[in-house]
């Protein structure tokens, strides 16, 4: 059996030269998937002759399908109970057949451990509290999540790698974004992503309405973004103006949304996927944080990004927010008045 002390040692050059086929397991949602992109780039940069595959959930498959650094995307439908067991067994068969030399687990779940152990992958890398791994990286709290994930490279090299995130789309998606924005050349284009998977991470719709109404006094165009679950709130907010507001919530694919966000002058978002997309495409972000805090590791990291929040003793009340405020007051959002958000938008866009 391998010595426990070896778990914290980097691989030798001789061992690294044997790693020709590599698997990365990333089965979290969209934001986490995007934050893995800097690790994938670093892995391919350091081992350019290796073949790198990734295992993901259906919701994030398209994020990785256009990533030229990857050889193959394997899908594991772990969240739908009716398909979980069958999808798990299918993924195991694919992994066993591919005979990977090395695997990295971005999540520290038992399922991820089994996906490496059962097919017989001999070298399995993860964070120190994960089961059945052969090399460990200490999980450091407080780091931005992209940097935590990038630290997995330390088993291979102590080199400092580019930590910027990235996302890829094709010509058709670029054309879609251009068709939506080209007519507004010369005007400031703002994106607002009003929704969130958890209610407490969502800035109140009434407040967004007030912010939008104030913005309409200026020569700006506002795109309302989000998934199908956000289409209703998008429709209500877009009714404020037929000329300056375009509601595309629920109408674009994830990569079409990325191409559109790339064309914006600014994105206003909650702690959610559009915020991470904006960072990956180089668009400035104003992020509205309620139940979550920067210290959890998920925040906009570019120089001009801004986080708006209210300091309260009850924050954070959870890593992912809740359906409703546990203390029933929802002050983390209600105390952050629309005037504050509006003033920050004005500063970022330099409009007066």
pLDDT tier at 197, thresholds 50, 70, 90: confident
pLDDT at 84 over 90: no
Mean pLDDT across the stretch 166-172?
A: 96
Residue 80: predicted pLDDT? 78
How high is the pLDDT of residue 317? Answer: 94
Count of Cβ atoms closer than 10 Å to residue 271 Cβ: 27
pLDDT tens figures, 142-161? 899 999 999 999 999 999 99
Distance CA 102, CA 321 (A): 35
Burial 203-235 (b: 16+ CB within 10 A, else e): beeebbbbbbebbbeeebbbbbbbbeebbebbe
CATH code of the domain made up of 4-155: 3.40.50.2000
Q: What is the pLDDT of residue 5?
A: 56
pTM for this prediction = 0.94
Averaged pLDDT score across all residues of the chain = 95
pLDDT range class, residue 139, cuts 50, 70, 90: confident
Provide the H-helix boundaries in 4-51.
Answer: 13-16, 30-35, 37-46
pLDDT digits (tens, 9 = 90+) for 6-36: 788 999 999 999 999 999 999 999 999 999 9
- Give the integer Cα–Cα distance in Å for 153 and 37: 13
pLDDT class for 2, splitting at 50, 70, 90? very low
90-112 tens-digit pLDDT:
999 999 999 999 999 998 999 99
pLDDT at 185 over 50: yes
Name residue, tokens 């990785």: 64
Flag the least confident range among 46-50, 83-87, 164-168, 200-204: 83-87
Would the CATH topology of 4-155 be identical to that of 171-349?
yes
Query: Is residue 236's pLDDT more than 50?
Result: yes
Cβ partners under 8 Å of residue 211, min gap 6: 192, 268, 338, 341, 342, 345
Tell me the C-alpha to C-alpha distance, in Å, between residue 81 and each of 76, 85, 110.
12, 8, 17
Is 327 exposed, middle or buried, given 0-12, 13-18 or 19+ CB atoms closer than 10 A? exposed
What does the block give as tokens for 75?
A: 């899908």
Residue 287, classed as helix, strand or coil, is: strand
- pLDDT more than 70, % of the chain: 99
SS3 129: coil
CB of 126 closer than 8 Å to CB of 136 = yes
The answer to whether the beta carbons of residues 135 and 125 sit under 8 Å apart is yes
CATH superfamily membership of 171-349: Glycogen Phosphorylase B; (3.40.50.2000)
pLDDT at res. 3: 44
- Residue 261, both tokens: 């966000």
Give, in degrees to the nearest 5, the angle at Cα 107 between 105 and 110: 85
DSSP 239-283: TT-TTTEEE-TTTS-HHHHHHHHTT-SEEEEESSHHHHHHHHHT-
Q: What is the pLDDT of residues 251-295, one digit of tens each?
A: 999 999 999 999 999 999 999 999 999 999 999 999 999 999 999
Sorted by where each begins, the domain ranges of the chain are 4-155, 171-349
Between residues 84 and 313, the one the model is more confident about: 313
pLDDT exceeds cutoff 60 at 4: no
Taking the CB of residue 168, how many other CB atoms lie within 10 A of it? Answer: 18
CA distances 299 to 121, 142, 246, 326, Å, are: 34, 11, 26, 22
C-alpha span between 338 and 210 (Å, rounded): 6
pLDDT at res. 81: 74
């Amino acid at each position: 059996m391998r010595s426990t002390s070896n778990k914290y040692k980097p691989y030798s050059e001789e061992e690294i030269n044997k790693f020709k086929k590599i698997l990365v397991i990333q089965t979290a949602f969209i934001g986490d998937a995007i934050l893995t992109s800097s690790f994938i780039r670093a892995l391919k940069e350091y081992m350019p002759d290796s073949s790198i595959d990734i295992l993901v959930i259906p919701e994030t498959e398209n994020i990785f399908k256009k990533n030229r650094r990857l050889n193959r995307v394997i899908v594991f439908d772990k969240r739908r109970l009716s398909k979980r067991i069958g999808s798990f067994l299918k993924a195991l068969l694919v992994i066993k057949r591919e005979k990977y030399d090395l695997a990295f687990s971005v999540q520290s779940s038992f399922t991820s451990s089994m996906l490496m152990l059962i097919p017989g992958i001999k070298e399995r890398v993860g964070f120190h509290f994960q089961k059945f791994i052969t090399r460990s990286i200490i999980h450091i709290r407080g780091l931005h999540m992209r940097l935590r994930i990038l630290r997995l490279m330390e088993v291979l090299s102590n080199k400092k790698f580019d930590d910027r995130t990235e996302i890829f789309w094709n010509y058709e998606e670029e054309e879609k974004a251009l068709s939506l924005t080209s007519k507004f050349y010369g005007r400031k284009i703002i994106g607002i992503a009003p929704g969130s998977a958890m209610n407490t991470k969502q800035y109140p719709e009434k407040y967004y309405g007030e912010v939008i109404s104030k913005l309409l006094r200026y020569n700006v165009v506002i795109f309302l973004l989000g998934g199908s679950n956000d289409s209703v709130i998008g429709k209500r907010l877009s009714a404020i103006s037929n000329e300056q507001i375009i509601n595309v919530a629920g109408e674009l694919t994830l990569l079409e949304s990325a191409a559109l966000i790339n064309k914006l002058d600014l994105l206003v978002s909650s702690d959610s996927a559009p915020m991470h997309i904006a960072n990956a495409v180089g668009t400035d972000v104003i992020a509205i944080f309620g139940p979550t805090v920067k210290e959890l590791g998920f925040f906009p990291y570019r120089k001009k990004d801004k986080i708006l929040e209210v300091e309260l003793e009850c924050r954070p009340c959870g890593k992912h927010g809740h359906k409703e405020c546990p203390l029933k007051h929802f002050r983390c959002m209600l105390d952050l008045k629309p005037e504050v958000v509006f003033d920050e938008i004005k500063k970022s866009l330099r409009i007066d």
